[in-house]
Amino acid sequence: MRHRVRPGQGGKTRGVQAVITLVTGASRGIGRGIAYSLGEAKATVYLSGRTAAGLDSAAGEIERRGGKAIPVVCDHTDDAQVEVLFNRIPALDLLVNNVWGGYENHPNGLGMEPFWKMGMEDWDGMFTRGLRAHIAASRLAIPRMLPQGKGLIVTTIAWLSGKYLRHLYYDLAKQGCARLAYALALELKPHGIASVALAPGFVRTEAVMAAHAKHPFDLSGTESPEYIGRAVVHLARDAGMMSKSGRVLTAGDLAREYGFTDVDGKQPPAFEFPPGMALD
């Protein structure tokens, strides 16, 4: 059953059956892939996002795979809606900060023009729908982890081994997410709660595949949205997770460490810029 938030209202993955999770921005893209993988691992998955139809579809697939799905429509730029979402979750083991808002919701997309030609509204959108939304979710998730003396916060980011992402606002927003993960790790270490930033590679999201349908391009080396989901599941199962806390991790590197593959049996490496594309 789907719930709508309104202000004023109260390879196969090994199991994480007792884990209660929240994946923000789970109606599509890598958020949906992460939610699917957690469902396959038999977790209880709260999934949030703005699109009711997308959440309902994702929830049905999670249940089909053996997980428990609780979809909640929530605009993560609205603090009142976020409060109501968390009021539904008495305890939490895993938060996946993934909400982003979609490139189409940023005023001028993700063009590569010089930043002095961009409006400040571009920055406002990337900050509000990304980094700020992650901070808001984290501050409400942590009190639901503290009584257990354990927990994990995973913040998804774009990452190219520290290289500049060729768009000033985008780079700052994503680097800010990495710094958030690091700061949370330091503050939460005494409480047994780990925090990491996690980067996918070149993912075959709905938007990527729609672009490919219009203008075909090479998909070799790409990965499914569930590849990063399997990385999240393995992190959630890792008894030594605290040793990774504060780090920037990639799905490709974790696949090699933990020995999992993508849904097609392949093991794509961490993404790198093609030769000559990086500015640094």
265 in a domain, yes or no? Answer: no
Contacts of 73 (CB under 8 A, 6+ apart): 2, 3, 4, 5, 48, 49, 50, 51, 52, 55
For the CA atoms of 107, 215, 220, 173, the dihedral, rounded to the nearest 10 degrees, stands at: -10
Nearest CA to 198 out of 96, 269, 107, 126 is that of: 96
- Rounded-to-integer distance, Cα 77 and Cα 2, Å: 20
Give the bridge partners for 264, in sequence order. Answer: none
**Which domain, by its residues, includes 60?**
3-258
User: What mean pLDDT is predicted for residues 228-244?
Assistant: 97
Residue 139 forms part of a structural domain = yes
Total structural domains in the chain?
Answer: 1
pTM > 0.75: yes
CA distances from 110 to 113, 125, 171, 217 (A): 9, 12, 11, 19
Confirm whether 268 is domain-assigned: no
pLDDT of residue 172 exceeding 50, the answer is yes
Per-residue pLDDT band at 81 (split at 50, 70, 90) = very high
Domain CATH for 137:
3.40.50.720
* Percent of the chain predicted with pLDDT > 70: 84
Q: Which residues are catalytic?
A: 170
Between residues 109 and 157, the one the model is more confident about = 157
Tokens 């590849």 locate to 227
- Whether 171 is in a domain gets the answer yes
Q: At 16, is the pLDDT very low, low, confident or very high (cuts 50, 70, 90)?
A: confident
Res. 66: pLDDT tops 60: yes
Cα 161 off chain centre by: 18
Residue 276 lies inside a defined structural domain of this protein? no
| Confidence category of residue 170, pLDDT binned at 50, 70, 90 | confident
Domain-embedded: residue 280: no
Q: What is the pLDDT of residue 237?
A: 95
Q: Within 10 A of 68 (CB to CB), how many other CB atoms are there?
A: 15
Per-residue pLDDT for 8 more than 80?
Answer: no
